[in-house]
Amino acid sequence: MPEPALAVPVIHEVNPWVALAYLVAGVFFILALRGLSSPSTSRQGNRFGMAGMAIAVFTTMLLKAPVPEGQFLPEPTAADLATLVQILIAIAIGGGIGFVVARRIQMTAMPQLVAAFHSLVGLAAVLVGLAAWLNPGAFDIVDTAGQILVTSRIEMALGIAIGAITFSGSVIAFLKLNGSMSGSPIMLPGRHVINLGVLAAIIVLVAAYALSGAGGPGEGLLIVWITLLAFIIGFLLIIPIGGADMPVVVSMLNSYSGWAAAAMGFTLHNTAMIITGALVGASGAILSYIMCRAMNRSFISVIAGGFGADAGDAGPGVAKTDRPWKRGSAEDAAYLMKEAETVIIIPGYGMAVAQAQHVLREMGDQLKEHGVSVKYAIHPVAGRMPGHMNVLLAEANVPYDEVFELEDINSEFAQADVAFIIGANDVVNPAAKTDKSSPIYGMPVFDVDKAKQVFFIKRSMGGVGYAGVDNDVFYMDQTMMLLSDAKKMVEEINKALAD
């Protein structure tokens, strides 16, 4: 009998101009990440990112095929032109939807939008992976014997698994952020055993698929089970994570979407996707780690689905209103802040909900006209996603040099005349320093209790923060509670300052 032919991988020729264009796009993406690291350079960073993406998309569409020596562009066929038209139509539809959504979305809904976009990236990775499995020849991932390459099997299966986890996890994150689902952790009995079992099963199935034969129903069942189990584990990982950890979840899902894109980049032989996915994946993971450190959370605990958490870690709660507290007015706040030397403003998600950032900036401007030093203190996890408060203050044209991170301003509260808290709660809660049973224990918080005077804007005394923990700041001797909608209260303060 003749010897069977060896399965030899197909060698893909690469247009050198494509490699150069993707390299330039990658440099722009790196510059974009660098720009986005600071509010003062974020707009320039966005421009770099858009330029890099434009180069990558243009290159993928027009410079995909290898070109004969001495030529710059390949000669397009009628089929190429038809495909290009279809791609442009798809880009126009998707871009139009994105443009409309971006124009209409409220800043308070930005975290939900980010979670929704992550889910779409994950779903796209799943669909691309399934398309490559169904028609591997079109993706050039077969060897000379017509079988899918082992490396391509691994890349494809991992891309599908990570994409499915990203999709289902992002759907849960969206529902929690949107209020369509309780922000409290949902603890399944034996959840850690279930999670580890499902993850182990996915790894075994990926290995089995990589080593499987030339196809058939058995191979198809492996892919189907990998996809289904990955969808399930995405739900299971995010459901037990409480509201206080949602900023880390959003950042981590961003990382997952990057790794899914990178895996699909290998399947598509697209260097730009590999570079972009790796940058997004790595930067998202690093940001998640930094935020976990800022919250004194275990990085592994959060990404593993609330390891070590219990059912009381977050969720609805009520303030202990039987304790004595003082109610203040807009006139009280205006008078005392006008007479102060230093006012530190701490914004939180309540400011975002009330869309009070613009009137808050007007209040700051009026105080500065009276010779008051005004500073804004931003906690790393204030809001529902990383940098949420920075974005809102930048939208209101608050000067960047007046905005400070926790570690840069926390020591100044002891000398501050007024701490003005608007819509924040957990990030100023002393329980993080004193109560070992609190779910936020160990999380660095602003030392507002050291300020001479504290004004605390919240809608009522009947509610607490997203972590579901009562706040001793409400009841301090130097605290005046300003119970009202944040925007309405600040407007009244501005009117009092102007009189």
- Angstrom distance (rounded) from CA 259 to CA 164: 12
Residue at token pair 């990440």: 33
Q: Would the pLDDT of 253 be above 80?
A: yes
* Predicted confidence (pLDDT) at residue 420 exceeds the cutoff of 90: yes
* Domain assignment of residue 305, yes or no: yes
Whether the per-residue pLDDT at 327 is higher than 50: the answer is yes
Q: What is the pLDDT of residue 7?
A: 46
Task: Assess whether 303 and 340 both reside in one domain.
Answer: no
Clarify whether residues 240 and 160 are in a common domain. Answer: yes
Residue 72 in domain: no
Average pLDDT over residues 48-72: 73
**Choice among 142-146, 465-469, 476-480, 487-491 with the minimum mean pLDDT:** 465-469
Query: Which residue type, as a one-letter code, is found at position 247?
Result: P
Categorize the per-residue pLDDT at 311 as very low, low, confident or very high, splitting at 50, 70 and 90.
Answer: very low
Q: What is the 3-state secondary structure (H, E, C) of 273-292?
A: HHHHHHHHHHHHHHHHHHHH
β-partners of residue 419 are 344, 454
Q: Is 404 strand, coil or helix?
A: strand
> Residue 75 — very low, low, confident or very high, per pLDDT cuts 50/70/90?
low
pLDDT band at 118 (very low <50, low <70, confident <90, very high): confident
Do 247 and 360 sit in the same domain of this protein? no
- Hey, what are 256's tokens? 């997952």
Residue 227 has pLDDT above 90, yes or no: yes
pLDDT tens for 410-419 read 999 999 999 9
The verdict on 267 and 311 lying in the same domain is yes
Q: Let me know whether 144 and 291 are in one domain.
A: yes
Please state, in angstroms and rounded to a whole number, the distance separating the CA atoms of residues 106 and 63: 38
Token digits of residue 367: 């105080």
Strands 403-405 and 418-422: unpaired
Q: 102 in a domain, yes or no?
A: no
Whether residues 416 and 491 fall in one domain? yes
Same domain, 173 and 199: yes
Q: How far apart are CA 336 and CA 202, in angstroms?
A: 61
Residues 197 and 247 in one domain: yes
pLDDT band (50, 70, 90) for residue 82: low
- Other CB atoms within a 10 A radius of the CB of residue 379 amount to 24
Residue, of 305 and 61, whose pLDDT is higher: 61
pLDDT value of residue 6 = 45
Percentage of the chain lying above the pLDDT 90 cut: 28
Tokens of 152: 């391509």
Domain encompassing residue 429:
330-498
Decide if pLDDT at 11 tops 70.
no
The single-letter code of the amino acid at 447 is: D
Q: What is the pLDDT of residues 138-186, one digit of tens each?
A: 787 887 777 888 888 888 899 999 999 999 989 988 888 777 777 666 7
Does 18 reside within a domain? no
pTM of the model as a whole:
0.74
Average pLDDT, the chain: 81
Supply the pLDDT for residue 320. Answer: 55
Cα gap 351→111, rounded to integer Å: 15
For residue 395, give the 3-state DSSP assignment: helix
- More confident site: 327 or 460: 327
Spell out the residues 6+ positions from residue 33 whose beta carbon is closer than 8 angstroms to its own: 45, 279, 283
Which pLDDT score, from 0 to 100, does residue 15 have?
A: 64
Q: Is 39 part of a structural domain of the chain?
A: no
> When comparing pLDDT for 499 and 258, which is higher?
258
Q: What is the CATH number of the domain that holds 488?
A: 3.40.50.1220
- Provide the pLDDT confidence category of residue 295 given band limits of 50, 70 and 90: low
- Per-residue pLDDT at 71 exceeds 70: no
pLDDT in tens, 360-373: 999 999 999 999 99
Residue 146 is assigned to a structural domain of this protein: yes
Residue 74 near residue 18, CB atoms below 8 Å: no
Q: Can 426 be counted among the known catalytic residues?
A: yes
The per-residue pLDDT for 316 is 45
Q: Is residue 69 part of a domain?
A: no
The reply to whether 366 and 299 lie within a common domain is no
- List CB contacts of 103: < 8 A, sequence separation 6 or more: none
What does 37-61 look like in DSSP terms, one character per residue?
Answer: TSGGGHHHHHHHHHHHHHHHHHHHH
User: Which comes out higher in pLDDT, residue 197 or 184?
Assistant: 197
Q: Specify the number of domains making up the chain.
A: 2
Confidence check: pLDDT of 101 > 50: yes
Q: How far is CA 178 from CA 164, 175, 219, 291, in A?
A: 21, 5, 39, 22
Q: Mean pLDDT across the stretch 75-100?
A: 77
Lowest mean pLDDT among 120-134, 199-213, 431-445: 431-445
Residue 87 lies in a domain: no
**CB of 482 within 8 A of CB of 459?**
no
pLDDT band for position 8 (cuts 50, 70, 90): very low
Per-residue pLDDT at 331: 94
CB 165 within 8 A of CB 235: no
Q: Quick one: 335 and 472 in the same domain?
A: yes
Same domain, 178 and 291: yes
275 and 400 in a single domain? The answer is no
Marked catalytic residue, from 245, 426, 447, 470: 426
Q: Residues near 495 by Cβ (< 8 Å), separated by ≥ 6? A: 330
Examine the fold and report which residue of 286, 315, 344 is the final residue of a domain before the chain moves on: 315
